[in-house]
Amino acid sequence: MSGLANVGMPHNLREQPGSSSYIPNFLSDNGGDTYTTAATQPTIQDYENVFGPSARNIKDDPQRFKRHNRWHLPDFLKGANPWLTDKVDGLITDATNSPFTSVILPYRYFDNPDGKIKWNVHSFDESMASRVPYESAARTLTQSKKSYAGYAVRQGLAITLEHNFMMSPKGRENFNNQLRQLVGSIQYTNDFDVHVALILAPSYEKEQREKYISEGKSSEQVCR
């Protein structure tokens, strides 16, 4: 065999020592993956080419069962989002120029918005001091206390975003504009609530008129 190889084959194609293949190959000992290879046992790669990878090496896609016409946030982002909450709250409280929520009824932080809100109103009537006869009782100043309670009203707004909006500059710009739109709507709602609170607030003038002024008197009689 070696004599024939020396006569009929080029020098660079001579069979290497220890080779078990029919056609010599410098890169492989199994005949260059031809039908004349001496390897008869399939490898793991051969099985995977037909039956796929092992089940323990397959990682399920958490988004495979999501609805394609409505994309939800990934599962690991579910729940409260303090980072985004602080961003929106900061846009509301720091960038407002409305006098209704900065001067008349300013924003206040409340730890438990779902809890019951209680407050008391103390009223102390003032009057001019009068002369007191000897060994008699002085005029007593009146005071009153009223207790109130209520609950915070929850109001909601929602925005719709395109899937993968954060992957393009235009998408991120649109998200920024939608956040500002959300903040403006919240501020608009709060301004309206302040108007309603001012209209429905108790009137001290009305209370004074009911207590001390008769509606049947004329303006001259009231002034007198």
DSSP string, 65-92: TS-SSSPPPPGGG-S--HHHHHHHHHHH
Long-range Cβ contacts of 182-191 (<8 Å, 24+ apart): 182/88, 182/157, 183/88, 183/91, 183/92, 183/95, 185/157, 186/92, 186/157, 187/92, 187/96, 187/98, 187/101, 189/155, 190/98, 190/100, 190/101, 191/98, 191/100, 191/101
Query: So what's the pLDDT on residue 95?
Result: 64
In 3-state terms, what secondary structure has residue 35? coil
Burial class (CB in 10 A: 0-12, 13-18, 19+), 24: middle
Task: Please indicate, yes or no, whether the overall pTM of this predicted structure exceeds 0.75.
Answer: no
Q: In tens digits, what is the pLDDT along the chain, a chain of 224 residues? A: 444 444 444 444 444 444 444 444 444 455 455 555 566 688 888 877 777 777 777 777 776 776 666 777 788 888 888 888 888 888 887 767 888 988 898 888 888 888 888 989 898 888 888 888 888 888 888 898 989 898 888 888 888 888 888 899 999 999 889 988 988 898 899 999 999 999 998 888 887 777 777 667 777 877 77
Indicate the domain borders of the chain: 2-57, 75-223
Cα 165 from chain centroid? 16
Q: What is the DSSP letter of 23?
A: S
How far is Cα 119 from Cα 152, in angstroms, rounded to an integer? 13
Place of tokens 């954060």: 166
Question: How does strand 143-151 pair with strand 116-124?
Answer: antiparallel
Measured CA to CA, the distance from residue 67 to residue 77 in angstroms comes to 17
Res 194: pLDDT: 93
| Cβ count within 10 A of residue 32 | 15
152 within 8 A of 114, measured Cβ to Cβ: yes
Would you call 149 helix, strand, or coil by DSSP? strand
